[in-house]
Amino acid sequence: MRERITFVQKEGDSIEPTALKVDASALSGPDVKAVREDRLTLALDELPNELKALLEGVSQLHIRWVDRGEHEAVSPLLARLPPGFHLFYTPGSDTSINPCPLLTRVFGLNSCSSPAESFTTLPTDRFTHSTTHQFYQPLPSLSSFINFAKSHLCPSDSPKSCSPRLSSLHRASHLDISYDTISHTLRVTSLWPYSSHSLSATLLSPSIRTEIGIISTASPKTLEAHEIAISGLLTVLGQSNHPSPTLFTFPSRHRSAAPVSFTSQFLSPTGLHPVLQLSITSPTPPIKSPNPDSCRLHAYFTLPKTVFPDRHQLSDPLFLASKNLSALRYITPGIDLEAPEYVTNTWGSSLLLELSPPLKGGEWTAQVPLHLRYLSPSVTGYRSAEVPYPAVFWACEAEEGTRFPVNPFEKDKVGYDGLFGERTVFWHLDPTTTAGDGVLVNGVKVPVLNLEKAGWVNVGTAVVVGLGFLWVVFKLLGVGFAGGRKVDGEEKKKRQ
């Protein structure tokens, strides 16, 4: 087991080494404004049996949980995903293994029944680095995970800090859990949003190598355009009693397009065909990108099954142009365009659209037409559906020959990265909310059948259909009897 704790300050912020107190098992210092990232790396043998048994059977499993709050991202932790619970999954040789029951228990999911029923398949022919399956569901809170972890990962002899540290996940903005057969290790990374954190970290156990970093981005002169530089103080608890200053650079695929931001909202009235409008503060590509001409603005959506995009509608260039969209780059195949939500098993669909920004100007909008499924009836006649904000980014091609080896802060398997080439750099636009609730989720009110008024439907339909039927039968009998007795005779006379 290894642990890495990193406090990421904003560029230019730093802390004097003398302000830190380091001893064999703890580090402490003043409060700093930073993003905190904790990363725990575990070997398969260190895991609870149930989890170990599951992971031994899978090839890749990546969980990406994102809080729905509006949080500022700090370089280099810039990758964005729509808020909610994402799972990217590749089964092992035994495809009958079902991760759903365990995931459901751990995270409190409600729509994961099995890969065959609930997951969608991802294209693996485009780029080899993507997983084969995807699953998503909105998940506002990690409380289920925290409770599960407390009871399973904090045994009675565990350090006192185990339970409180898990509790602090209530305030986390991201939780990533990654496993693949190549590394044979499980990596759990949690992120707390930019705020004031007390600089304190304690060794979980003497056997755990614990590394603590207090870093911020730097801009040395030798920095290349596709790289990020980090400077700060690193300490390995128990190995040294003073922090060592450090400066290193690495290529990064996720960058920030700040100050450009976007907001997302449904146009009113929504009806059964709601249109999600993205308002983007500027149409110009990120100036810091080495070759802005290669940049294309994209929006990546994970749409729960209550709504769906229509690939045919999104394939017409004229229609797309009228919505300030350029092209449909990816859509989950096989989306049912008719079925009600309550008979749909798959989680929903993902959608990658290329947007069409104007050549110049200020704030502009793009519209994404969606369609609601029928939802189950309710006592009010309405239900609410939630659509998370998309990830909006400029995808720019790095120069020929640029390589992006996995960097210490890299976040991969975020859904859209598998739809682009390995040289693509993502310049993320910050999502902002207009409603002021700070929630990166768009709600839509869905009209459904009102159960309170449905008392007469069953009997009423039966009676009306029955009466209609009897009326026609009555008329038919009238003709039948008239024809049987009189008309035939008259007709015969006429013919004679």
Partner 1 sequence: MTKPSATAQARPPPPATSPATAPSLLTTFFARPLPLYLSAAIFRLIFLLYGLWQDANSPVKYTDIDYLVFTDAARFVSHGQSPYDRETYRYTPVLAWLLLPTAHITGNRLLDSALFSSGKILFALADLAAGWLLEKVLSRSMAPPQARKFATIWLLNPMVATISTRGSSEGLLGVLVMALLWAVLEKRITLAGLLLGFSVHFKIYPFIYAPAIIWWMDNSKFPPSQPPPSKRSPSLPTKILAFLTPARLNLTLTSLTTFSLLNTSMYLLYGTPFLQQTYLHHISRLDHRHNFSPYHTQLYLSSSPSVSPSLLLPIEKIAFLPQLLLSTLLIPLILAKKSLPTCLLAQTFSFVTFNKVCTSQYFLWYLILLPLYLPRSSFFRCPKFGFLALGLWVLAQAAWLQQGFELEFLGRSTFLPGLWMTGLGFFGVNCWILGVVVSDVRGRGSE
What are the residues binding partner 1 (CB under 8 A)?
269-273, 312, 316, 318-319, 321-323, 334, 337-340, 342-343, 374, 376-378, 381-382, 445-451, 453-454, 457-462, 464-469, 471-480, 482-483, 487-488, 491, 494
**Minimum separation from the CB atom of position 112 to partner 1 (A):** 18
Rounded to the nearest whole angstrom, what is the least distance from the CB of residue 114 to partner 1 in the complex? 19
160: which 2 tokens?
A: 């006192």
The nearest distance, CB 303 to partner 1, in angstroms, is: 17
Shorter beta-carbon distance to partner 1: residue 116 or 487: 487
Nearer to partner 1, 123 or 460 (CB): 460
Q: How far is the CB of 480 from partner 1 (least distance, A)?
A: 4
Q: Closest approach of Cβ 341 to partner 1, in Å?
A: 10
In the complex with partner 1, which residue's Cβ is closer, 222 or 268? 268
- What distance in Å separates the CA atoms of residue 345 and residue 213, rounded to the nearest whole number? 44
Residue 282, token pair as written in the block: 């500027």
The Cα 267–Cα 274 span in angstroms is: 7
Q: Are 418 and 127 in contact (CB under 8 A)?
A: yes
Cβ at position 321, least distance to partner 1 in Å: 8
CB-nearer residue toward partner 1: 129 or 475: 475
Q: Is the peptide bond before 408 cis (omega within 30 degrees of 0)?
A: no
Q: 377 with 453: CB under 8 angstroms?
A: no
Select 382 or 421, whichever has its Cβ closest to partner 1.
Answer: 382
Across 285-307, b (16+ Cβ under 10 Å) vs e yields bbeebeeeebbbbbbbbbbbbbb
Burial class (CB in 10 A: 0-12, 13-18, 19+), 92: middle
For partner 1, give the closer residue by CB, 11 or 488: 488
| Closer of 200 and 315 to partner 1 (Cβ) | 315
Nearer to partner 1, 151 or 450 (CB): 450
Q: What is the 3-state secondary structure (H, E, C) of 209-237?
A: EEEEEEEEEECCCCCCCCEEEEEEEEEEC
- Separation of alpha carbons 65 and 108, rounded Å: 13
Are 48 and 122 in contact by the 8 Å Cβ rule? The answer is: no
Give residue for tokens 């990406």: 64
Check the CA dihedral 342-344-345-349 and report its sign. negative
The strand pair at 2-9 and 209-218 is best described as parallel
Minimum distance of partner 1 from residue 457's CB (angstroms): 5
> Who contacts 15 (Cβ-Cβ below 8 Å, separation ≥6)?
9, 29, 30, 32, 199, 214, 233
Q: Please state the φ and ψ torsions of residue 456, each to the nearest 5 degrees.
A: -95, -5
Q: Nearer Cβ to partner 1, position 24 or 473?
A: 473
The nearest distance, CB 123 to partner 1, in angstroms, is: 17
- Residue 438, sorted as left (phi over 0), alpha (psi -120 to 50) or beta, turns out to be left
Nearer to partner 1, 205 or 450 (CB): 450
* Residue closer to partner 1 (CB basis): 400 or 490: 490
**Residue 408's Cα: distance from chain center in Å?**
22
To partner 1, the closest distance from the beta carbon of 434 in angstroms equals: 20
Continuous segment of H or E residues that includes residue 19: none
In a 10 Å sphere around its CB, with 0-12 CB exposed, 13-18 middle and 19+ buried, how is residue 456 labelled? exposed
Least distance in angstroms from the C-beta of 358 to partner 1:
17
Instruction: Name the minimum Å distance from CB 479 to partner 1.
Output: 5
Angle at which helices 100-107 and 49-56 pack, to 10 degrees?
140
What is the closest distance, in whole angstroms, from the C-beta atom of residue 157 to partner 1 in the complex? 46
Residue 187 or 445 having the CB closest to partner 1 = 445
Distances in whole angstroms, Cα of residue 404 to Cα of each of 47, 143, 239, 423, 440: 31, 35, 31, 7, 30
Q: How far is CA 450 from the centre of its chain?
A: 32
